[in-house]
């Protein structure tokens, strides 16, 4: 309290964020998560910006599974895993996740942010090279920073540049090389070319790692992820992901791979050694989610039907989207103030979505990002499309019919 300039300096920076339109306010919900949510002011909105791909966040069966685990295992552990924080439900979840992902073993974390933050430093040192996609998630970037390995960056999804970087790391005489990519990039819905990445890895003797946060549970024929989508199950060395998106939506993360890797992380990964155990009710609910999506592809199929319908109809209305098949649908508005006005108008029309502009996306690439869910009904999607059409005409983005 004896340094007033510190606080006035912070306030100045906050004010600058506001004048530049970069301040991020919280949107407060008064309901559970779902296809429809209730805002704090009591208005009902159709939610098009959650990572609730399978609709399991507010789902009653997910809740029941959490309640059952709460009854059996209690509220929490007050311990890290290796002291007295491991329960049978955590071991069961690690086993089930390994089966689901097609790996040998899995280690749980409190978040995927921790999984990525704690995966590199125990496994790689200054003799090694990490070759990372330029658009990888912030937690991967931070995790790489915590590790002494040499860093090589390749342009997003650019396989020629990836090969150039692999050659550079090889020429530099690096001992181990690992190619790291998001399975799906959340700003664009771009799917990593894992088949080609695996080929390049084989050619250069490199390892591979994917972050499946926007893929686990719904990408690929049975929802196992981008590696299933690309036909490379069993060929990826390390898989990280979250339990906080499609797989239930509460929180939690994991790293999965060969037994030697996971055992090493249990001994050395700092967010695992020095942070509390995942709450047992989350582990229990996650187990129920994996069981449910292992039994039937119904939710995954509904999500992809909704995605295909929305992608087709939004283009028919006259909007430009980034092409693709992923439930992340970037609707391109290009101009930052237009994107801001558009998102605000959609909010008035009862649709919750988020606008993105520079510096989150490149200059001139402003957009609103739509995320489909298995929980959306056709009727809700038609309402959203009608609102897009209305706001689009009002703001002169699309021509009047």
The catalytic residue positions are 186, 214, 245
* Residue closer to ligand PLP, measured from CB, 136 or 380: 136
157 binds ligand PLP (CB under 6 A): no
Minimum distance, C-beta of residue 399 to ligand PLP, in the bound complex (Å)? 35
242 binds ligand PLP (CB under 6 A): yes
Question: Cβ(95)–Cβ(116) under 8 Å?
Answer: no
Minimum distance, C-beta of residue 186 to ligand PLP, in the bound complex (Å)? 5
Identified binder of ligand PLP from the candidate list 53, 113, 342, 357, rule CB under 6 A = 113
**Residues of 243-270 as b/e, b for ≥16 C-beta within 10 angstroms?**
bbbbbbbbbbbbbbbeeebbeebeeebe
Minimum distance, C-beta of residue 47 to ligand PLP, in the bound complex (Å)? 17
Minimum distance, C-beta of residue 244 to ligand PLP, in the bound complex (Å)? 4
Counting residues that bind ligand PLP (by CB under 6 A) gives: 14
52 binds ligand PLP (CB under 6 A): no
With CA atoms as reference, report the closest residue to 284 among 18, 76, 47, 67.
Answer: 67
**Contact track, ligand PLP, 73-112, x by CB under 6 A:** --------------------------------------xx
Minimum distance, C-beta of residue 211 to ligand PLP, in the bound complex (Å)? 4
- Pairing assessment for the beta strands 150-154 and 177-182 based on DSSP bridges: unpaired
What are the backbone angles phi and psi of residue 62, rounded to the nearest 5°?
-60, -45
Tokens 């290009």 label which residue?
334
Binders of ligand PLP in range 188-227 (CB under 6 A): 211, 213-214
**Distance between CA atoms of residues 276 and 271, nearest Å:** 9
With CA atoms as reference, report the closest residue to 322 among 212, 193, 186, 190.
Answer: 190
Binders of ligand PLP in range 349-378 (CB under 6 A): none
* Residue closer to ligand PLP, measured from CB, 112 or 166: 112
* Residue closer to ligand PLP, measured from CB, 112 or 283: 112
Cβ atoms within 10 Å, residue 160: 8
Question: Cβ(72)–Cβ(272) under 8 Å?
Answer: no
* Residue closer to ligand PLP, measured from CB, 214 or 304: 214
Q: What's the Cα-to-Cα distance from 251 to each of 95, 98, 112, 228, 276, rounded to whole Å?
A: 18, 18, 8, 24, 13
| Binding residues vs ligand PLP (CB under 6 A) | 111-113, 116, 137, 139, 182, 186, 211, 213-214, 242, 244, 253
């Amino acid at each position: 309290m004896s340094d007033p300039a510190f606080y006035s300096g912070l306030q100045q920076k906050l004010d600058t964020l506001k004048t530049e339109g970069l301040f991020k306010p919280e949107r407060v919900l008064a309901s559970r998560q779902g296809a429809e949510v209730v805002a704090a002011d009591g208005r009902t909105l159709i939610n098009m910006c959650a990572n609730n791909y399978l609709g399991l966040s507010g789902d009653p069966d997910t809740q029941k599974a959490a309640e059952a685990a709460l009854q059996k295992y209690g509220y929490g552990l007050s311990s890290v895993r290796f002291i007295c924080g491991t329960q049978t439900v955590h071991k069961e979840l690690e086993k089930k996740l390994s089966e689901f992902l097609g790996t040998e073993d899995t280690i749980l974390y409190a978040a995927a942010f921790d999984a990525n933050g704690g995966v590199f430093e125990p496994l790689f040192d200054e003799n090694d090279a990490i070759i990372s996609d330029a658009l990888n998630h912030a937690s991967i970037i931070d995790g790489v920073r915590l590790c002494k390995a040499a860093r090589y960056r390749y342009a997003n999804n650019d396989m020629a540049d990836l090969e150039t970087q692999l050659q550079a790391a090889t020429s530099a005489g690096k001992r181990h090389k690992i190619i790291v990519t998001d399975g799906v990039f959340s700003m664009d819905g771009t799917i990593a070319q894992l088949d080609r990445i695996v080929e390049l890895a084989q050619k250069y003797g490199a390892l591979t790692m994917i972050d499946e946060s926007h893929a686990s549970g719904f990408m690929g024929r049975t929802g196992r992820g981008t590696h299933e989508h690309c036909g490379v199950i069993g060929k990826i060395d390390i898989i990280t992901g979250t339990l906080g998106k499609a797989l239930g939506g509460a929180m939690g993360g994991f790293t999965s791979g060969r037994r030697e890797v996971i055992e090493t992380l249990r001994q050395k990964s700092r967010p695992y050694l020095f942070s509390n155990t995942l709450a047992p009710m989350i582990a229990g609910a996650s187990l129920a989610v994996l069981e449910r999506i292992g039994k039937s592809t119904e939710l995954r199929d509904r999500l992809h039907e909704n995605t295909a319908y929305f992608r087709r109809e939004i283009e028919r209305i006259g909007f430009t989207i980034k092409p693709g098949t992923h439930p992340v649908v970037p609707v391109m508005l290009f101009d930052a103030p237009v994107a801001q006005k558009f998102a605000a108008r959609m909010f008035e029309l009862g649709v919750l979505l988020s606008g993105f502009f520079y510096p989150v996306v490149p200059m001139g690439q402003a957009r609103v990002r739509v995320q489909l869910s298995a929980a959306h009904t056709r009727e809700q999607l038609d309402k959203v499309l009608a609102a897009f059409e209305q706001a689009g005409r009002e703001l002169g983005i699309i021509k009047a019919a």
